[in-house]
Amino acid sequence: MTSNLEMNAPIESTKIPLEKIDPYRYRIPRSYNPGMRVDGIIYADEKLLGDILKDKAADQVVNVAFLPGIVGHSMAMPDAHWGYGFPIGGVAATDPKQGGVVSPGGVGFDINCGVRLIRTNFQFDEIQSELQNLIRVLFRDVPSGVGSKSELSLSRQDERDVFLRGSKWAVAKGFGTDSDLEATEDYGAIAGADPAAVSERAHKRGKEQIGTLGSGNHFLEVQVVEKIFDEQAAVQLGIFEGQVTVMIHCGSRGLGYQICEDYCREMEKCLSKYKIEVPDRQLACAPVESIEGQTYLAAMRVAANYAFANRQYIMHMVRKTFEKVFRKSWQNMGMNLIYDVAHNIAKIEKHLVDGKERTLCVHRKGATRAFPPGHPDLPARYQKIGQPVIIPGDMGRYSYLAIGTKEAQETFYSCCHGAGRLMSRTQASKKFDSHQLLEELEAKGIFVQAKSRGTLTEEAPGVYKDVNDVVDVVHNAGLAKRVCRMRPIGVIKG
């Protein structure tokens, strides 16, 4: 990977030496620790850098730089915060031909937790009188919350098809269209999934959860496009000011969690087998080309495909609910998928490193793919403008739609995935009151339905960084280009 990063004055705000490259990039030199194989790069401004340094995410950037076969840099996006092994918001690529490894800690527990953005033809004032009814019906129709179960009854063959075909299975069953697949990362199914790599416990945990939103930071949100930054891109994406959009954020549910848990244990055995030394056992890993590495990737792809199918079916339910409430077909309402993008994933991709194309294993944990215009893996509709990049914020502020750039080559075409937490769920529960929070959101014109009052306090706007600050960094650093900003008007939480 080539880069034009230049070093300026060092910053002495932490024990880790930070060199300011420019207003949006900070380097941790590999000379800081003899075990580091590459430099660390943190994408942040001074305000966000302070938040990142408070919870030791920078230490995890250093730790990731120890991974065998790592190339380029160990990176943290501006929404980065402490996670399991990798920081959430961490990006790292390894070269399998140079002993590069894959680490479950670089993917995370909610494999292919991702975001799906749906446009409509509605202006806000056209649905305003029906908004609360719409949110109530969506809350009723889309299962959410801890332990929520799907209305679908899948045969064993259907489950296998979900594991192998992802969204393609859902579309074949009538839960969407080929156009939806074209607007989904990897066309809704990653090749190389193997159901045999998944434990029976993982299988059982995911058995009844296709078409469920889950809990925690997962949500279904009705939004309004408040501001357009790039008129030309907005027109090509079918976006206009005042437009109603729908955003879905969820992942692979219990299936993905169990797969990660299973393979974190298995990978610990690989450290001694392959003589791998890492400073944190949460970075347990195996060579990508080893049996263990290939088996983990096969299981991870099962969870990723399951997550694609999950979001596809939830979108189907959302469309049906809109049809019920507004008595029109979803096609007449223009409810087309803009894009579905994954985070918490490891992908085998081709990238330029020092001017030469190499096949790499790119870990994006709490980070999203952001391919540029002209990339061969993008569908025809996005070849000219680049991949849509969806960046949700919190339920009291904003979310963003951006597009990928050629400049993001330095991050292996990766970008932030959201706002990033500032405090733990335990801290949030002590600090915020659910009744007061609901009143404050209602005063802003945001109608919220939630299964649990606890979820509300854990996901209060004050728990998160301001997504405006995060997106300013990725835009100004050239990792993605802003297209529009959406504000929430109706939120469903588990």
Q: What is the pLDDT of residues 223-273, one digit of tens each?
A: 999 999 999 999 999 999 999 999 999 999 999 999 999 999 999 999 999
Instruction: Please indicate, yes or no, if residue 79 is contained in any of the structural domains.
Output: no
Instruction: Please indicate, yes or no, if residue 316 is contained in any of the structural domains.
Output: yes
Instruction: Please indicate, yes or no, if residue 263 is contained in any of the structural domains.
Output: no
- Of 218, 417, 435, 475, the catalytic one is 417
- The pLDDT assigned to 147 comes to 81
CATH number of the domain enclosing 231: 3.90.1860.10
Are the C-beta atoms of 490 and 127 separated by less than 8 Å? Answer: no
- The pLDDT assigned to 358 comes to 98
Q: Which of 11-15, 23-27, 490-494 has the lowest mean pLDDT?
A: 11-15
Q: What is the pLDDT of residues 424-459, one digit of tens each?
A: 889 998 999 999 999 999 999 999 999 888 888 999
Give first-to-last CA distance, the chain, whole Å.
41
Helix-then-strand count for the chain, H and E? 15, 18
- The pLDDT assigned to 153 comes to 82
Buried b (16+ CB within 10 A) or exposed e, 446-467: bbbbbbeeebbbbbbbebbbbb
- Cα 69 from Cα 57, distance rounded (Å): 21
DSSP-assigned beta bridge partners for residue 224 = 244, 487
Instruction: Please indicate, yes or no, if residue 409 is contained in any of the structural domains.
Output: yes
CA-based nearest residue to 273, from 261, 283, 289, 285: 285
What mean pLDDT do residues 394-419 have?
97
- The pLDDT assigned to 448 comes to 96
- The pLDDT assigned to 12 comes to 37
- The pLDDT assigned to 11 comes to 38
Instruction: Please indicate, yes or no, if residue 122 is contained in any of the structural domains.
Output: yes
- The pLDDT assigned to 150 comes to 87
- The pLDDT assigned to 455 comes to 86
**417 tagged catalytic:** yes
What mean pLDDT do residues 297-319 have?
98
% of the chain surpassing 70 pLDDT = 97
Q: What is the pLDDT of residues 171-208, one digit of tens each?
A: 999 999 999 999 999 999 999 999 999 999 999 999 89
pLDDT of 78 higher than 90: yes
- The pLDDT assigned to 8 comes to 38
Are the C-beta atoms of 88 and 116 separated by less than 8 Å? Answer: no
CA-based nearest residue to 75, from 367, 389, 418, 375: 367
H/E stretch holding 165: helix 156-165
- The pLDDT assigned to 10 comes to 36
Q: pLDDT band for position 14 (50/70/90)?
A: low
Two structure tokens written together for 123 = 């202006």
Instruction: Please indicate, yes or no, if residue 369 is contained in any of the structural domains.
Output: no
pLDDT of 476 higher than 60: yes
Q: How many residues does the chain have?
A: 494
- Cα 264 from Cα 84, distance rounded (Å): 10
DSSP-assigned beta bridge partners for residue 389 = 402
pLDDT of 156 higher than 90: no
Q: What is the pLDDT of residues 83-123, one digit of tens each?
A: 999 999 999 999 999 999 999 999 999 999 999 999 999 99
Instruction: Please indicate, yes or no, if residue 273 is contained in any of the structural domains.
Output: no
How many folded domains does the chain comprise? 1
Q: What is the pLDDT of residues 385-400, one digit of tens each?
A: 999 999 999 999 999 9
- Cα 230 from Cα 470, distance rounded (Å): 18
Burial class (CB in 10 A: 0-12, 13-18, 19+), 156: exposed
pTM of this structure? 0.95
- The pLDDT assigned to 151 comes to 85
Question: Cα separations (Å) of 349 from 18, 115, 292, 456?
Answer: 30, 21, 20, 38
Average pLDDT, the chain: 95
Domain encompassing residue 331: 113-188+207-252+307-340+377-493
% of the chain surpassing 90 pLDDT = 90
Q: What is the pLDDT of residues 123-154, one digit of tens each?
A: 999 999 999 999 999 999 999 988 888 888 88
Instruction: Please indicate, yes or no, if residue 439 is contained in any of the structural domains.
Output: yes
